[in-house]
Chains A and B, each alone.
Chain A
Amino acid sequence: MTKYQEYLQNYDGEPMRIMEVCGTHTAAISHCGIHSILSPKIKLISGPGCPVCVTVTAYIDRLVELALTPGCVVVSFGDLLRVRGSSRSLNDAKALGGQVRMVYTPMDTLKLAAAEPDKTFIFAAVGFETTAPVYAMLLEEALRAGIQNIRLLTSLKTMPPVIDWVCANQGGIDGFLAPGHVSVITGSEIFRPLAERYSIPFVVSGFEPEQILLSLYALVKCRGMGKALNLYPSVVTPGGNHTAQQSVKKYFMPCDASWRGMGLIPGSGLCLRPEYQQFDSGSVALTEDHDANPACCCAKVLTGAIGPRQCPLFGKVCTPQSPQGACMVSTEGSCYQYYVNKRE
């Protein structure tokens, strides 16, 4: 390992800007300080891979509205509760008497819904390719068990289109640390067309510090080459998890999706198929987006245009205790990670 570490420390070739797309990688890198041992010629940039951070205002507003509707209960992962829409978060809705339940897995919605059949339970279905199969499973099980009071408010997104957007609209990235757990489902080959189109290496990486270092080494070595490498073969295969892909396909289809900071990206989302519309809770056309604090630069942070510390509010007005944008709320958000780990 030291050999790779040394190489990365002493690297003196062409400057390398590497984007870690996934929020879990941002968290792992910030936590173990990998960025601080790299040569100044290698710069790590955080990307748009925190599902909560890229969720637009209109989606949060719709969740708040549902939570405050009599007879409705919003069910969510904890990350989303503190994110503010145009004026309120789900936590605010709760304080106003709205119904919000936090769960560890979407599957818990089945028990909740079965216990209170007179209420409608709406799961806040955010996430990427990794989480989509879990929502498919929830619907499968609800249909099997005849549970009729479950709905989804979807804001599901897919990685290749947004990476494509970053390459085409922003550029300046010399390598991608491809999202490991997304790749478990999609397979590592999904990144090959992008690698070849832009002549940029993609390396699918695990999350341990040694795995990340190896992947960075591979990216630097492959600079300028359109290669897609899988350095997480213990769980990632070239083709991914076929069963999971099929179950996602059964319930969902590609759609255009709005991303914070990037606007509408064609084909970058997943929505319920027409034959399963009975499960939808009004997810269509939730595109409007604006930052809760007008000075918040989340939009630029998410695309790697600026680093979190370049936001004038960072650490002054905006801290994890009083977050001004989603990137400081989510524990996978770049601003949160840079703040708690003092990452430069």
Chain B
Amino acid sequence: MCVALPGKVVRVDGTKAQVDFSGNLVTAEAGLVKIKPGDYVLVHAGCILQVLSEEEGNSISALFKEIESL
């Protein structure tokens, strides 16, 4: 039930957004995070929980350096 899926914001309408899930357009609530068209977002139960950041790669490789040295 905590399933959340990533999609791409195509339009923002006040507190709602149109999110594209591989071709399926779904309306989602956008009140919990600042979003703009083009953002990749994580949607749970019809609600945008977070914007996907691009930092991921860097921060994981830094963490792994630390883990490897254990």
- What residues make up the interface of A, taking CB atoms closer than 8 Å to B? 22-24, 49-52, 77, 79, 104-108, 126-128, 130-131, 133-134, 137, 140, 179, 181-182, 184-185, 214, 217-218, 221-222, 225, 229-231, 233-236, 241, 243-244, 247, 330, 332
Contact = CB atoms under 8 A, between A and B. Distances in A.
A182 B32 contact: no
B32 A104 contact: no
Contact of B42 (A108, A133, A182, A235): A235
B2 A128 contact: yes
Nearest to A27: B3
Contacts of A241: 32-33, 49-50
Interface of B: 1-4, 29, 31-33, 42, 44-47, 49-56, 59-60, 63-64, 67-68, 70
B19 to A, nearest CB: 12
Contact of A107 (B3, B47, B55): B47
Contacts of A330: 1
A134 B46 contact: yes
Contacts of B67: 217-218, 221-222, 229
A191 to B, nearest CB: 15
Top 8 nearest A-B pairs (CB, nearest first) are: A105-B46, A234-B56, A130-B2, A181-B2, A235-B50, A233-B59, A134-B47, A244-B32
A244 B31 CA distance: 9
A115 B49 CA distance: 28
Given A185-B49, A233-B59, 9 more contacts: A23-B2, A126-B1, A128-B1, A179-B2, A184-B4, A231-B63, A234-B52, A234-B54, A332-B1
A131 B44 contact: yes
Contact of A233 (B42, B47, B55): B55
A184 B50 contact: yes
Given A127-B2, A137-B29, A179-B2, A107 B46 contact: yes
A29 B7 CA distance: 22
A10 B2 CA distance: 32
Specify which of B2, B4, B50, B64 lies most central, judged by the most chain A CB atoms within 10 Å of its CB.
B2
A42 to B, nearest CB: 16
Contact of B2 (A22, A105, A140): A22
A77 B44 CA distance: 12
Contact of A221 (B1, B50, B70): B70
A133 B32 contact: yes
B25 to A, nearest CB: 14
A185 B2 CA distance: 11
B7 to A, nearest CB: 13
Nearest to B50: A235
Contacts of A221: 67-68, 70
B60 A77 contact: no
A225 B50 CA distance: 30
A50 B1 contact: yes
B48 to A, nearest CB: 10
A36 B9 CA distance: 37
Contacts of B50: 184, 235-236, 241
